[in-house]
Structure 1
Amino acid sequence: MKLSERKRLDILNAARTEFIRHGFAATSMDAIAKAAATSKRTVYNHFSCKDVLFEAIVAQMLEQVFSASALPFSSTEPLREQLVSIARQEIELFEQEEVIALSRVVLAHAMHDGSFTQKVFGSLGEYETGIQAWLRAAHHAGVLRVEDPAMVSEQFIGMLKSFYFWPVIMGIPKGGKAPVKDKIIDSVVDMILFSCGYQAKN
């Protein structure tokens, strides 16, 4: 890794910590430079302003979210087990303290800056998540009926979030214990499979 790339990564890591600790508004470029052990000029060389730096951090998080549900479709592995594995990967991401903390910062900032929401989240529909790719492959294989993988993907992730992610974000965790988590996963997976016309082989 080149020195400039390493420095950029150091700045991103330091900024993420500062934003999580203090929130967007209370975090300054001076504090980020100090935390990254570099000059403010170097920070500005990589990121023109605090907004651009914050957007880069959110982009990192979104990339992590998209890759969390990445699982190649298999025509030989049990279909339900594959979807359960994807659900577990999503919930494991929701459980990460840094993801939870940064999500709270992002939501708080988004409530005060509508332009930020549009800039960061406005183009999400252009990207195909791991679960979308898996659903599309299952459809082409003829084992599921998925006319709109993007919509079914949103339903899948949305149900997991409503049962697990949003309660955690609001400080009222519901899914910490394994039996509860398993129940959530089983319920969501079964609803998605049923809606896509899945019939288990006896």
Structure 2
Amino acid sequence: MTTERLTDRKRAAIVRAAVAEFRASGFEATSMDKVAATAEVSKRTLYNHFASKEALFAQILMQLWDRSVALLDLAYRPDRPLHEQLSALLLQKVAMVSGEDFIDLARVAITATIHSPERAQDMLQRLAEKENALLTWVRAAQKDGRLQAADPLQVVQQMESLVKGSAFWPQVTMGQPRLGTQAQKQLAADTAQLILSRYAAQASAN
């Protein structure tokens, strides 16, 4: 058990070191040697945990995603107002894409995309395999008859475009400041209201 805990601690140290190096130097300039030195582990230990720099970066993205989807109870509730539920879900989404780590690593991922579209496509595919909480919620609300029978993927894409258009892309591409707590809540509430004004079934918006 002691060995297992030591292994877990070393893996965590590697991930922390990789996050710092990727944020500071970008994907291309970060080497496995550099990550091993920052994590204070041998290269052999590093490669025992991660076969490549690509695998290490993909793991970081997955951990960011896992942390974000664990923040709230995301299940659809037939006994709760739609706006209340959707605002809470969207607030989680806004908080995720507004996070400092997420924004910094997104910049790294975009750079990786430019230099190697194939590598970035693999990373994005792994993320896409994660169940989208918004998509699950929309499908459940449609099944319950409280949302119109529109294409659920289109509904989610519209929500994500509204969220990222204010809380993600301006920060990633133009260096605008991250949204504060109140601005995040307002964006989530406004997006929920806009989506429900279009897709809520008659008398189901509340």
TM band (smaller chain)? 0.7 to 0.9
The structural deviation recorded for 1:125 is 4.7
Give the aligned partner of residue 197 of structure 1: 200
Aligned partner of 2:152 among 131, 149, 153? 149
* 1:135 shift after superposition: 0.9
Contact 2:162 2:191 in 1 (8 A): yes
User: Match for 1:47: what amino acid?
Assistant: F
Q: How far 1:126 moved relative to its partner?
A: 4.3
Q: For residue 134 of structure 1, report the CA deviation from its aligned partner.
A: 0.9
DSSP 3-state at the match of 1:80:
helix
Residue in structure 1 matching 2:180, options 173, 176, 199: 176
Q: How many residues were matched structurally?
A: 201
TM-score calculated relative to the size of structure 2:
0.84
Whether the 8 Å CA contact 1:160–1:188 is kept in 2: the answer is yes
Instruction: Report the equivalent of 1:21.
Output: 24
User: Between the two proteins, what is the percent identity of the paired residues?
Assistant: 36
Tell me if the contact between 1:135 and 1:146 (Cα under 8 Å) persists in the aligned partners. Answer: no
Cα deviation digits, residues 105-163 of structure 1 (max 9, x gap): 11111111111122111355544311111111111111112443222112211210012
**Using a 3 Å threshold, how does the CA distance of structure 1 residues 5 and 43 change in structure 2: closer, same or farther?**
same
TM alignment of 1:88-107, pairs within 5 A: 88-107=91-110
Output one character per residue of 1:147-199: Cα deviation in whole Å (capped at 9) or x when no partner. 43222112211210012211121212474373x54543333212211232334
2:74 aligned residue? 71
In structure 2, stretches of 5+ residues that fail to align are none
1:137 paired with 2:163, answer no
Q: 1:164 aligns with which of 167, 177, 183?
A: 167
Which of the pair has the greater relative contact order for Cα pairs under 8 Å at 6+ separation? 2
1:81 equivalent in alignment to 2:84: yes
- Mapped to 2, the partners of 1:174 and 1:5 lie a distance apart of 32
Does the CA-based 8 Å contact 1:159-1:188 persist in structure 2? Answer: yes
Gaps of 5+ in 1: none
